Amino acid sequence: MPVCYIDAFSGLAGDMLVGAFADAGADRNAISSALTELATGGSISWDTVRRRGIAATKFRVSGGEQHKHRHLGDILAIINAANLPATTKSASEQVFQALAEAESAAHGMSIEHVHFHEVGAVDSICDIIGACLALDLLGIDKLYCSPINVGSGTVNTEHGILPVPAPATARLLEGCPVYSRGPALELTTPTGAAFVKALAQGFGAMPPMTIRASGYGAGDRDFPEHSNVVRVLLGDSSLATEATTVEVIEANIDDSSPQVVAWAAEKLLEAGALDVVIIPVQMKKGRPGVILQVIAAPGTREDLAATIFRETSTLGLRFYAAERRVQARAFTDVTTKYGVVRVKSGSDGFAPEYEDARRIAVEAGVPLRTVLAEAAHEYLKSR
């Protein structure tokens, strides 16, 4: 399955995304032709530039009515009238719908009355539609995004000077992992935020994939601190089923009952934790306690942290990244004289599934170890 990973270490903007997709192989002529046919008066150009030593593609839109204020309906009419693939139209509509909802919430007005200012200009319209078309041209089925560098400081808009991230951008990025690093200015624009909010399947570390192409889209400025580019990595989903980079969440608990801690562990597994460990420790003043340790896949940290705070008495958590190496796993059903048991196997070993063996042991009224031994025997025979 073709996938794309957006590396937003210097933020996100619509023009940077179009440039990166073109740099990775999207047909520039097809994008230019489609955007010219929108009849917005915009002129399309492409340049190769360098940002702190990295060659990147700069996508530019000039001309047209850059300061015209448009409503959502005006922009949707432009999209519907365009000669674009249905999937491009649908994706573009999703992005602008996300923008309208964010602007509506940020300014306290209905979606129908939202005036798009900067994002209603010709360049922003071409940026969003161009990025959505590029995804189609590249044949991307799944889109993922890294944690997003939003920048800091303030930005001058038609609403006046606003904090970074701007109110609409902050609304769009609710629930997404973000951080601030680098120069004190806006690194992630509403168009970039809306694109990933509407279309990305997940945020966090790179998904398991085989990379076949990469591309870099340039921002307008060349920063001394880092390369002002967005990177896209294109490839195919690999057979690995688990991320190799994980988050570890830990809490020291010495004032909760064992029942509460065990309950919390169950809830964490239900919420998507990869693993939960309860480690007995002796804490200050000689108190017996536990370390609740949770292994989290990228993008699930905040939900799991909220579960810990809700279900336990802890007032603080520790977070750190860890590398996790996993073997590709396969499951095989083996038939024992007591019933069918799944056996999980890797390149160096195997193990009958505990829950299957436990259920069969209860149903058949035999010792658990007997079912486990029988399943292992039948698995080895089948090999």
Please tell me the CATH superfamily of domain 245-323, with its number.
Answer: Transcriptional regulatory protein pf0864 domain like (3.30.70.1380)
354: nearest Cα among 346, 252, 362 = 362
| 159 vs 198: which has the higher pLDDT | 198
Strand partners, 276: 294
Give residue 154's pLDDT. Answer: 86
C-alpha dihedral (168, 171, 172, 176), degrees to nearest 10: 140
Express each pLDDT in 296-311 by its tens digit. Answer: 987 788 899 999 999 9
> Could you write out the DSSP letters of every residue in 184-202?
SSB-S-HHHHHHHHHH-SE
243: nearest Cα among 172, 322, 173 = 322
204: nearest Cα among 240, 244, 237, 167 = 244
The dihedral sign for the CA sequence 276, 277, 278, 281: negative
Give residue 329's pLDDT. Answer: 73
Express each pLDDT in 73-113 by its tens digit. Answer: 888 999 999 999 999 999 999 999 999 898 888 777 778 76
> Could you write out the DSSP letters of every residue in 234-252?
EEEE-S--S-SEEEEEEEE
195: nearest Cα among 111, 101, 127 = 127
Band of residue 41 on the pLDDT scale cut at 50, 70, 90? confident
Judged against a pLDDT cut of 90, whether residue 325 lies above it is answered with: no
| Helix 122-138, helix 190-199: angle, nearest 10 | 30
Cα–Cα distance measured from residue 163 to residue 179, given in angstroms and rounded to the nearest whole number: 15
In percent, the amount of the chain with pLDDT more than 70 equals 94
The 10 Å CB-count burial string (b at 16+, else e) for 64-98 is: bebeeebbbeebbebbeebebeeebbebbbbbbbb
Cα–Cα distance measured from residue 266 to residue 260, given in angstroms and rounded to the nearest whole number: 10
Cα–Cα distance measured from residue 143 to residue 137, given in angstroms and rounded to the nearest whole number: 14
Q: Determine if the pTM surpasses 0.75.
A: no
Cα–Cα distance measured from residue 135 to residue 139, given in angstroms and rounded to the nearest whole number: 6
In percent, the amount of the chain with pLDDT more than 90 equals 63
The ranges assigned to domains in the chain are 2-237, 245-323, 330-382
Cβ–Cβ under 8 Å, residues 308 and 317: yes
Lookup: tokens for 9: 């270490």
3-state secondary structure of 383: coil
Give residue 297's pLDDT. Answer: 85
Band of residue 118 on the pLDDT scale cut at 50, 70, 90? low
Cβ–Cβ under 8 Å, residues 145 and 203: yes
Cβ neighbours of residue 376 closer than 8 Å, sequence gap 6 or more: 343, 350, 352
Report the chain's mean pLDDT, rounded to a whole number: 89
Give residue 27's identity as a one-letter amino acid code.
D
Judged against a pLDDT cut of 60, whether residue 66 lies above it is answered with: no
Cα–Cα distance measured from residue 195 to residue 131, given in angstroms and rounded to the nearest whole number: 8
Give residue 189's pLDDT. Answer: 93
Region at 190 (left for phi over 0; alpha for psi -120 to 50; beta for the rest) = alpha
CATH class of the domain at 330-382:
alpha beta
Give residue 365's pLDDT. Answer: 93
Cβ neighbours of residue 28 closer than 8 Å, sequence gap 6 or more: 22, 46
Strand partners, 345: 330, 350
Band of residue 131 on the pLDDT scale cut at 50, 70, 90? very high
Band of residue 330 on the pLDDT scale cut at 50, 70, 90? confident
Q: Counting beta carbons within 10 angstroms of the beta carbon of residue 287, is it exposed (0 to 12), middle (13 to 18) or buried (19 or more)?
A: exposed
Cα–Cα distance measured from residue 152 to residue 171, given in angstroms and rounded to the nearest whole number: 16
Lookup: tokens for 201: 């399947």
Helix (H) and strand (E) counts for the chain?
11, 18
Cβ–Cβ under 8 Å, residues 120 and 190: no
> What's the mean pLDDT in 315-328?
82
Least confident of 175-184, 262-271, 310-319: 175-184
Please state whether the peptide bond connecting residue 183 to the residue before it is cis, i.e. omega within 30 degrees of 0. no
Judged against a pLDDT cut of 60, whether residue 239 lies above it is answered with: no
